[in-house]
Each structure stands twice: as C-alpha cells, then as structure tokens.
Chains A and B, each alone.
Chain A
Amino acid sequence: MCASMDRYQNRAVSIQGDLMADRSRSKNSYRSRSTARVDRKKRRQQRASLNKIKTLKLAVMMVIILLAFAGLGGRLYILARDNQNNYQKKILSQQRYDSKTLPFKRGSILDANGTILAASEKVYNVILDCKVMLSDEKSQDPTLAALAECFGLDLAELRKFVSENPNSQYRVLKRRITYDEMSPFLERKNTHNTEAGKKGNEEMGTINGVWFEEEYIRRYPNNTLACDVIGFTGTDNNGTYGLEEYYNDILNGTNGREYGYLNDDAALERKTVAAVDGSTLVSTIDANIQAICEKYIKQFNEEHLNEVREGPGAYNIAVIIQDCNNGDIKAMASYPDFDLNNPKDLTGYYTDEQIAQMEEDETYYDALNALWKNFCISDTYEPGSTAKALTLAAGIETGRIIGNESYECGGFLEIADRKINCNVTRGHGTLDVSGSLEQSCNVAFMKMGEAIGVRNMVQFEQIFNIGLKTNIDLAGEARTASLVFTENSMGPTELATASFGQGYNVTMIEMVAAFSSVINGGYYYEPHMVKKITNANGDTIKNIEPRVLKQTISSTTSEMLRQYLYASVAEGTGKSARPAGYAIGGKTGTAEMVPRDKTNYVVSFIGFAPADDPQIVIYCVVDRPNVASQPHATYATGIVKNILTEVLPYMHIARTEEMTIAEQEEVDNILGNIVQSDPAQGEDGENGENGENGEGAEAGSEGENNTGGAAGEGQSGNGPLYVIDPDTGELIDPVTGEKAQMDYGMEDEPPEEGNGTPSAGDVQQ
C-alpha cells in the first residue's frame, strides 16, 4: 500500500515536472535526481510500471486497430451489398463479347485420279490496331520496324498513318499472304517480346497491336483446265458456275466461332467451336483426257484463228467424252476458256479499248457470263445429222424400219409443197438403210421419218430425253422443253426436218446421254460429274453410283445401230474421224443455222469407241468454224480423230485394226509430239516421257501385245521397235532379225531404277 502510494506520488511528480518542462533544467540535474533514487527495488518497480503502461497502451492500440479493421470490414460489406449488381454490370459492360468467326476450309475438287483441280488455301491478312499498339508508347518503334522489315512495307508511310490515325483499330496492311510469308513476323515478335520482358529491358517496348485475320482463297492449280466444268469461287465461298456452284453447299463447311458468353454465375466464359471443313468432290473428270481434249480444241482454234473473220477459230468448240457404260463424264471441254484463278480477265479476247467500252455500256458482265458459261450444257443448237442415229433407232425400235428398205434419193424431196434439199443436191441414187446413214442422206431420212410417223417421232424424242434436262450435276444446264416438237407442233415438214436433226434444239449433254443409250444396249444413264464425296480427312461420305434412268431401245436395236454407225465411219461421212488402228462408230452432223442462208453451220461428230465394245462416247461440236466454207463435218471429225488417237491408248484400249504406213507415221506424229518435246533424252527418255503423259502405260504394258499382232500379220513398225519372233516368242530386232537381248535389258533398266531396286539386274547377271 505504502509502495503503491509512493509510486503514484512519484509518477505524479514526474508528470508535473514534465509539464513544467523548464529549458534551463539541465540533464545533469535529471541524472543526479534519478541516480540518487536508484536502487534495486526501485528499478524493479519501474520495470513493473513500464510493463503495466505497455500492456495498457498495447490494449489501446489493439482496440484502435480492431476498430480500423471493423470499419474497413463494414466498408467492404457496404460496397458489396450496395453495389454488387451495379458494379457487376459495369464489369460486364467492359468485357469484350466479340465473337470471332473461324473460317471453314472449302472442300477440294479432285479429278478421278486424285489430281487437284481446285483447293482452298489458308491465307492471312495483316491487321494493325493502332490503338492497342499505342497503349504503350514504346511499342510503336519495334512494331513498325518489324512490320516494315517482315512484310516489305514502307516505314515512313506506316509512321505517317499511325500519327494521323492513332485511334484506328483495323487497318489492313497486307492481304492474303501465305503462312510462310507470315511466320517470320511471328518469330520476330516472339523473340523480341521475350527479350523485352526480361528485367532491365523495359525501354525496348514490345511488338504489339498486330494480328492476322485468317481467310481462305481458292486456288486452281491447272488454271484454265476444265474451267467451265469446275467453275470458280471467290473469297465469299459462293461458287459461280460448274461444280463449284452446283455442289456449293457440300463444298462449304460450317464456320466455327470463338465467342464469349455469360454462364449461370454471370461469369464470362469463352468458348471455341471449331469450324467444320467442307467436303471434297472426286470428279469423274480425268484431267489427262480433259487436257488432251483441250489441247486439240486449242490447236483447232489456232489453226483457224482470224481466218475469215476477226476472232477465234470458231464461236464455240466443245468436246464431251463420256463413259457410255455408266454415265461418267470423263472430259468436258469448250473454248473459249478462261483462267479460273483470274476469271474476270478478258484481255485474252478483247482489246483494252473494247473492255473499257464494255464497262461503259455495262455489257462487261454479259461478256464475262458468256465466257464463263459452259457451252456443253448451256447452249442449244440444232443437232443436224448426228440426230439421224436417234431417228434410225426410233425407226428400228418401232418396227417401222426393218433394215431391208431401200430409198431413192434425187437430191430433194417435196413435202407439203416445199422442196427440201438433200445434202448432196445431185442425189445419192438408191441407198439401203446402212447406206443412207453412211451417206447421211436427208431424203432417205425424211422418208424414214414419214414411215415412223409424228406420234412415234415425238414419243422417241421424249424417250431419248430430248427437251428435258439431263440433271447432270453442273450448274447452268439449259432447259430445252420449248425448243423441241410436240405432237401438235410437228407437221409433215417439221417431221421431215426433225428426222435429220433440224428444226429443234438440243444441248450437247442431251445428245451425249441419248446417244450413249443408243449404242450401249439401250441403257439411259444420267450423266454425272462427281463419283464420290469425301470429308476433309478423305473418308468417303457418299459414293455416287451410276443411275440407269430407263431403257430407251432394246439391245438388238442397239446392236444394229452400232453396226450402222460403225459403217458410217468405216465407209461413210465419218471416215475422217477414225483414229489409226481403231474401229469406231459415229455420225457426223452439219446443221444449217437460222436464218437458213447457207452461211452459218454447226458441224459436229458424235461417236463411240471401240466399235465392238463401246467404252466411250465422244461428241465434238464446232459452232460456226472460222473458215470460208463452213458445212464440212471434217472440222469436227479432225478434232475427234486427234483426241481419240491419244485418248484410246491412254485408256488401255488396244488397237484392233491394221495400220498403213501412212497411218503409222501419222500416229507417231501425234504421239511423237510429246516425245519430241525433249529430244535429248533419246530412246529411254522417250519411254519415260511417254509414261508421264499417260501413253507410256500403253507402250509399256501393251506394247508386246500390239507388236505380237503386228508380227503375226507380217507387218513391221508399230510403236515399239522390237517384235516377237513367232517361233521362239522372244523379242527380235526387226531389222537384223537377231535376238534383242541386250536392248531388252536396256529397255527394262529404266523402270528398275525408277522403282529403286537396281539390285535386281545385278542378281540376274
């Protein structure tokens, strides 16, 4: 009690002393006073008192701290309670929900052998976002420098643009660059930003604000090849003409999307839905056959370019080759053609002034459409004498023509007070059925038509689907329903002209489809261009099987027609269409155009090969050839002959006919055209060269058979230089008569090297 009183007093004194704080009071007096009082007890007491003060003060401090925390907790609570929805909205409004489209890849178009006819390639647009780039001032220099160096852009121009448009967010600096062109920039950005992210390199600045927009562009590696068939597609993935348009939905996939959305908890989630790439079309077109057709079409065009009038060799030149046993179109070519990679280029056909003029009078797109359309399916014309095959088929099928009839031709026939001339005005004399077709006698066919009658004629027109779309899987097929006869519109004159293919219109594809059924036993196949649809990985989604729509004529009638048509080529007007070594059947056509002033003609040839076992039907139409005298089917047959001379060997169809030396030379000439493109290669090179062009297969695999036949018949010099000795069965040199062992080895060597097994020869030796 006493002690505590003392301490209290002591404390009171000291506080009082402090309050009175006299500056004059020296440190010494303090010390003397305190040292005077110091003893152990006091010291312990002092410590105890300090501890009490400390405890009290700590408690006060803790209370203050706890109050502060309580206040802050309260503030947090109020913030969360009052503003949750409001601030939630603010946050959500700041978020970017922008969804980004991930483009799909449009499917490719392949030919029957897998050659790419059309394919989409991913390309990138370089986009500069100035606002993002300038969010850090230091980013500008490295970013612009990288852009200028990686994409060859002008640095000064970039700087100017950025300083003038600091808020621009979407500036396309470069369009449609490939991945390889883009990747140097990405690499540079990566290394630069890693470097800049290191400590102490803050001043370097990062490359920022540049992004790449993905896009696909359509590429056509073969440029003009099969342009009318394929059609083209712009960046909008909307096909124009041909397969691109017809199969647009199948070729197109579904765009993917990257987007942000709010989930149940109002949290932003980003989701990516991958794009589904489009399906790939495997076409029935064989790019090699197509190329052969186009080659001879162009050859014809060049031969007759500007011959009589300014312009191409004919208004239209077109060829269709169809597999007559399933309706597959193997080639469909027409001229004029255009570059699919640059479809709006008219400079090949018009001068710059003409183009400028056309742009002015808005005929520019008319000209383009005329160029783009597919003559083979879109244009109609009078078929002319090629239709005689159909007339004859109808006659035989209906029994109105038996085959033993004979017709007298005096050069014209008078029908309903009108004189209709035969193609040979002096007349053909007496002709049997086969002869009528061989000579393409109009008078005979008018008589046949008379025998067949209007009803049967119209009926067979329908049976052969003339006047109906064939439903070929190409965009732009013409409707010809109004261009053909009906029972009402067909009078005697019309019947007469229709019997030799004048007075009504057809499309080429109609004729091909009908003619195929005439010679293949009567099966009308729907012509088609695509045989398989696969997905982006190459898995088959759908096989398109041949569709037989109907039986047009009986197989016996078909058999008879094959005979007649064979004779028509072998003996008649179609002679010039026969390729050396092959037997084919077919019919020429020379149709006079309206007005019938004997100037403009559509000449054509439709045929099949080989004659005994038809594999293909070929139809060639030359619309108004650029020659002084048009009505000569030889313009068409010449093209057909050249094409078949190459295509038949390519298709592994063996030669069955004897060839004269002249013919042999002609064949060598045609096939040799290819060989001579690289004469330095010599004999071995020849084989290799042939192989590349497709005929090598014939020369290699069927060479022996051919030569076997030739040797057996005592003839020499067909293709390969060696013949088989009929006694030993070994190859001999036709000149020396010796065994061609050495040469045989030599001939065999290149393929071995090609197969990468050179050891085989060594082992044999």
Chain B
Amino acid sequence: MARQAVKFRSSKHNMDYVLLTVVLFLVGFGLLMIYSVSSYEAGIEHNDSAFFLKNQAQNTVVGFVALFIMIKFPYKELQRFDVLAMIVSAVLIVLVKSPLGITRNGASRWINVGITSFQPAEVAKIGVIIYLASIIQRLETLGRNIIRTPKGLAIVMVPPTIIAGLVYLLTSNLSSAIIIMGIAVAMVFVAVPDYKWFVVIGVTGVAAVTALVAYVANTDMSSSNFRMGRIMAWLHPEAYSTDKAFQTLQALYAIGSGGIWGKGLGQSMQKRGFLPEAQNDMIFSIICEELGLFGALAIIILFVVLIWSCMVIANKTVDRFGSLLVVGVMAHYAIQVILNIAVVTNTIPNTGITLPFISYGGTSTLFLLTEIGIVLNVSKNCR
C-alpha cells in the first residue's frame, strides 16, 4: 500500500508542468489574439464582436476536457487501436464526400455531426501518430531491423501514405497531407538508425521542388491550374497583388509594418478588412503587426520550448510506444508551426495551415490539446 502511494505521488510529480504551462499560455494568448484580430470583422458580419472569441472559448474548453481525460487515460491502451485508427481515419475522410460532408469555399473538408462539424484530416493526424508508434514498436519486438526491410517499410509507410493521399484527393487539403507525411517520415527517422535514405529523400525532394518551381516560373501562365498559380503568386506576390497573392501580400505588409516592437495590442490596421481569414491561417502576421518582431520571436521561442519539452520527454521515456507517440506529436507541432510561419512570411507558397493553439479552429484545437494530454500522460512515466 505504502509503496503504491509513493509511486502514485512520484508519477504525479514527474508530469511535465513546463509543457502544460507553455500550452496554457499559448492557448490563452491565442484567445486574446483571436479577439483582437476578429472583433472588428465579427462586429460587422455577426453583430457580435466576440463571436469568434466565444466559439473558440467553447472549443478550448472541450479541448481541455479531452486533455485531462488523456492525462488519466492509460495511454498504452492506445496501442490496441493502431489499425482501427487508420480505418476510422480513412472512413471519416471518405465521409466528406457523403451527404454528411460540408463544402465551404469550394473545398469539402468538414463532416457534419449534428451539433457541430469537424475536419477528418485532424483526426487522421493523431490516427497516423498512434498507428506508427504502435506498429514500429511491434515490429521492433519481432526484430529490430524488420522496419528496414521493404516489407517492414511497407507496413509502416503505406497506410499513412494512403491516408495522406485521401486527404489530398478528397479534401483538396495539401497542407494536411504534407503534415501527415511529415509526421510519418519524422517518426520513422527517429526509429531507425539510417541517415542516408533520408538525406537522399530530402535532396531528391528539394531538387524536384526546385525543378517544378523553375518550370512554373518559365511557362506561360495561361493554362495554369490552381496550385501553379499559387506558386507564381509566391514568386511574384506584387504582380498578383489583387487576386492570388492578395492575402500573402497583405500578410507581408502586416509583418513589415509591425517593425521591431509592433503597433501595440489591438492596433493592427490590416485586421480591419484587409487581411482575409486573419483569425485563421494568417493570425501570426497580425501578431507581428501588433507585437512586432519581439512578440513574434517570443511566440516562436514558446513553441521551441514546447517542442524541446516534447523532445526531452521522448528522450526520457523508456517505453518505446510512449516515446514514439511523443515524437509524433512533436513532429506534428514542429511541422505545423514551421509551415505556418513559412507561409505567412511567403517563404513557401500559400497553403492553408493553422498555427497550433493560436489560430481559430475547433477540430484543430481539440486534437492538439488531446495530443498534449497524451504527451503529459507519457511524461508521468519518464525515468
């Protein structure tokens, strides 16, 4: 009895409170920024300046409920759901094309579940993390090099690739597909000792992208499709300032005009109808405008602390499954934050990627906080 009590206390003690604090701060800061960014437009369009704030606050509450459930939930049980997670993810993505699916702005990315709607792509991300963590651990118990055989590699990589493909094809959500693939690659990267293949893949990818960009830049744009147009807009934002690059350019204006110290909280001009979707993908540019380079770097440092904490937890966790889960979550955050900031700064072409914990979005917030719950749960079992 006494031993159990001590164990219980020590496990509580080991939970990573730094991580929790950072997440709480980011979520709180996110709500503040959503109000600051959206109040003007919400007041005009919804007659309620706190419209987006209220919705996001609800989402956050639901997210924290999920977070605390996941802290208590024995995460090792998740290992049972690996194949199920893939199947559920795939089915949900396919459902987007069913009558339950909701189409907004020309893309079917949502499923209506009566009281609310959610994005299956977000479910797929956590599903892929669970699947990979589980399958890698299982293969390793069979033999540590099984993953490195083609068959093992196929078992590990084919389901996430299918999911990513479905996400891209059915929901035309390239960014989520990229994130899913990124998570998969990162988890495998950590699991296997090899470098060479990753370097080869990376170099090939960069070369392919460079070639594509060079091709697009030199072709006649009359027959261009949607994605190619985005690439052109990325290369020459000023030339497409009225249509394709409008959002990007307005985001750049916001970032540039913020300077080092920003205009002050709530003082953004771009949020007043100039920057579309300011509370979603482009919230970071308004942060830059209002809080300046200083505020932006502070937020980046918070994300670094968050990712670093995940890394430490992953490192310290003896349990292979838990450790891989944390690696997946860490990769998810890192990829999403980096891509979001890269899009906002026009470092890469514009794809719709939200900034974790800060951007407006129900499903995204719910699953991001669920993942944090899993990480905190794993952190209890650290050495």
Closest Cβ neighbor of A27 among chain B residues: B151
- Cα A73 to Cα B46 in complex, Å, equals 36
Q: Mark B306-346, 1 if CB is under 8 A from A, else 0.
A: 01100100110010100100010011001000100110010
**Residue in A50, A87, A194 whose beta carbon sits within 8 Å of that of B253 in the complex:** A87
Are A31 and B253 CB-contacts (below 8 A) given A53-B193, A76-B345, A197-B46?
no
Q: Is B259 an interface residue (CB 8 A)?
A: yes
Q: Could you mark each residue 202-219 of chain B with 1 if its beta carbon is under 8 Å from any beta carbon of chain A, else 0? A: 000000000000000000
Interface residues contributed by chain A, number (CB under 8 Å): 57
Contact A61 B256, beta carbon cutoff 8 Å: no
Does A370 have its Cβ within 8 Å of any Cβ on chain B?
no
Assembly CA distance A193 to B252 (angstroms): 32
Whether A73 contacts B297 in the complex (CB less than 8 A), given A190-B47, A267-B267, comes out as yes
Q: Indicate whether A79 sits within 8 Å of B270 (C-beta atoms), given known contacts A50-B320, A53-B192, A193-B47.
A: no
A73, B300: Cβ atoms under 8 Å? yes
Q: Are B270 and A91 in contact (CB under 8 A)?
A: yes
CA distance A403 to B252 in the complex (A): 102
Report yes or no: B253 in contact with A91, Cβ–Cβ below 8 A: yes
Asked whether A57 and B190 contact (CB < 8 A) given A50-B320, A91-B270, the answer is: yes
Residue in B47, B256, B264, B323 whose beta carbon sits within 8 Å of that of A265 in the complex: B264
A87 touches B314 (CB 8 A): no
Any B CB within 8 A of the CB of A94: yes
Q: Does residue B73 face the partner (Cβ distance < 8 Å to A)?
A: no
Say whether A94 contacts B274, CB under 8 Å: yes
Q: Which residues of A contact B98 (CB under 8 A)?
A: none
B interface footprint on A74-86 (CB within 8 Å = 1, 0 otherwise): 0111011011101
Is B104 positioned at the interface, with any CB of A under 8 Å from its CB? Answer: yes
Judge whether A79 and B256 touch: CB under 8 Å: yes
Q: Which one, A21, A50, A90, contacts B140 given CB within 8 A?
A: A50
| Interface status of B143 (Cβ within 8 A of chain A) | yes
| A18 and B252 form a contact (CB under 8 A) | no
Interface status of A202 (Cβ within 8 A of chain B):
yes
The answer to the question of A426 belonging to the interface, with a C-beta cut-off of 8 Å to chain B, is no
Contact of B338 among A57, A65, A265 (CB under 8 A): A65
In the complex, are the beta carbons of A79 and B255 less than 8 A apart? yes
Taking a contact as CB atoms closer than 8 A, the residue among B151, B257, B304, B315 that contacts A88 in the complex is B257
Is A206 part of the binding interface, using a Cβ–Cβ cutoff of 8 Å? yes
Is A306 at the interface (CB under 8 A from chain B)? no
Residue B150 is within 8 A (CB to CB) of chain A in the complex: yes
Contact B143 A69 (CB under 8 A): no
Counting CB contacts under 8 A, is B227 at the interface?
no
The reply to whether the CB of B296 lies closer than 8 angstroms to some CB of chain A is yes
A72 to B337, CA, bound (A): 10
Contacting residue for A17 out of B117, B145, B253, B323, CB 8 A: B145
B113 CB-CB contact with A under 8 Å: no
State whether B255 touches A76 (Cβ < 8 A): yes
Name the residue on A nearest B324 (C-beta): A54
Contact partner, B149, options A21, A49, A75, Cβ 8 Å:
A21
Given known contacts A14-B145, A30-B143, A76-B345, A21 and B252 CB-to-CB distance under 8 angstroms = no
Is the CB–CB distance between A75 and B269 below 8 Å?
no
- Chain A residue contacts of B189, Cβ below 8 A: 57, 61
Interface 1/0 per residue, B259-271 and A, CB below 8 Å: 1100110010110
When chains A and B are docked, how far (Å) is the Cα of A49 from the Cα of B252?
A: 47
In Å, the complex CA distance between A23 and B304 comes to 43
Q: Which of B157-207 contact A (CB under 8 A)?
A: 186, 189-193, 195
B16 to chain A, nearest CB (A): 15
Q: A88-B257, A197-B47 are in contact. Are A267 and B269 (CB under 8 A)?
A: yes
A172 at the interface (CB under 8 A from B): no
A55 at interface, CB cutoff 8 A: yes
What 1/0 flags go to A254-294 for Cβ under 8 Å of B?
Answer: 00000000000101100000000000000000000000000
- B47 CB contacts on chain A under 8 angstroms: 190, 193-194, 197
Asked whether A653 is an interface residue with its Cβ less than 8 Å from the other chain, the reply is no
Q: Which A residues are CB-close (under 8 A) to B293?
A: 76-77, 80
B144 at the interface (CB under 8 A from A): yes
Q: Does B148 contact A (CB under 8 A)?
A: yes
Cα A202 to Cα B296 in complex, Å, equals: 34
Chain B nearest CB from A60 CB (Å) reads: 8
Cβ of A299 within 8 Å of any chain B Cβ, yes or no, is no
B132 contacts A by Cβ under 8 Å:
no
CB-based contact A84/B143 at 8 Å: no
Q: Is B224 close to A, CB under 8 A?
A: no
A66/B304 in contact, CB under 8 A: yes
B345–A72 CB distance below 8 A: yes
Once the chains bind, are A267 and B264 in contact (CB under 8 Å)?
A: yes
Partner of A80, one of B256, B267, B300, B347: B256
If the complex has contacts A50-B140, A80-B292, are A72 and B300 also in contact, measured as CB distance less than 8 A?
A: yes
Given A72-B345, A76-B297, A79-B255, decide whether A18 and B307 contact each other with a Cβ distance below 8 A: no
Decide: A86 and B297 in contact? CB cutoff 8 A.
no
Say whether A58 contacts B315, CB under 8 Å.
yes
**B263 A54 Cβ-Cβ under 8 A:** no
Decide: A30 and B260 in contact? CB cutoff 8 A: no
Cα–Cα, bound, A212→B249 (Å): 33
Closest to A199 in B: B117
Q: Which residues of the partner chain A approach B288 to less than 8 Å between Cβ atoms?
A: 76, 80
B45-67, CB under 8 A of A: which get 1 and which 0?
A: 11100010000000000000000
List residues of chain B with CB within 8 A of the CB of A91. 253-254, 257, 269-270, 274
Q: B120 on the interface (CB 8 Å rule)?
A: no
Residues of chain B with a CB closer than 8 A to A86's CB: 256
Chain A residues, Cβ within 8 Å of B296: 73, 76
Q: Are A90 and B45 in contact (CB under 8 A)?
A: no
Interface status of A186 (Cβ within 8 A of chain B): no
Interface bits A9-43 vs B (CB < 8 Å: 1, else 0): 00100110110010100010011001000000000
Interface status of A46 (Cβ within 8 A of chain B) = yes
A365-424 residues with Cβ-Cβ distance < 8 A to B are none
Which of B45, B146, B259, B315 contacts A197, CB < 8 Å?
B45
**Residue of chain B at shortest CB distance from A17:** B145
Q: Which of B151, B186, B256, B342: most chain A Cβ within 10 A?
A: B256
Q: List the A residue with the shortest CB-CB distance to B112.
A: A200
Q: Which residue of A lies closest to B288 (CB)?
A: A76
A760 at interface by CB-CB < 8 Å: no
State whether the Cβ of B127 lies closer than 8 Å to any Cβ in chain A.
no
Contact status A62-B308, CB under 8 Å? yes
Alpha-carbon distance between A61 and B258 when the two chains are bound, in angstroms: 31
Min CB distance, A323 to chain B, in Å?
A: 58
Question: What would be 14 A-B contacts, judged by CB atoms less than 8 Å apart?
Answer: A14-B144, A18-B145, A53-B190, A57-B189, A58-B327, A61-B186, A61-B334, A62-B308, A68-B338, A69-B303, A69-B338, A72-B300, A76-B296, A84-B256
Other than the known A57-B190, A193-B45, A199-B117, what 8 A-B pairs have Cβ atoms closer than 8 Å?
A30-B143, A30-B149, A61-B190, A73-B297, A80-B260, A80-B288, A80-B292, A194-B47
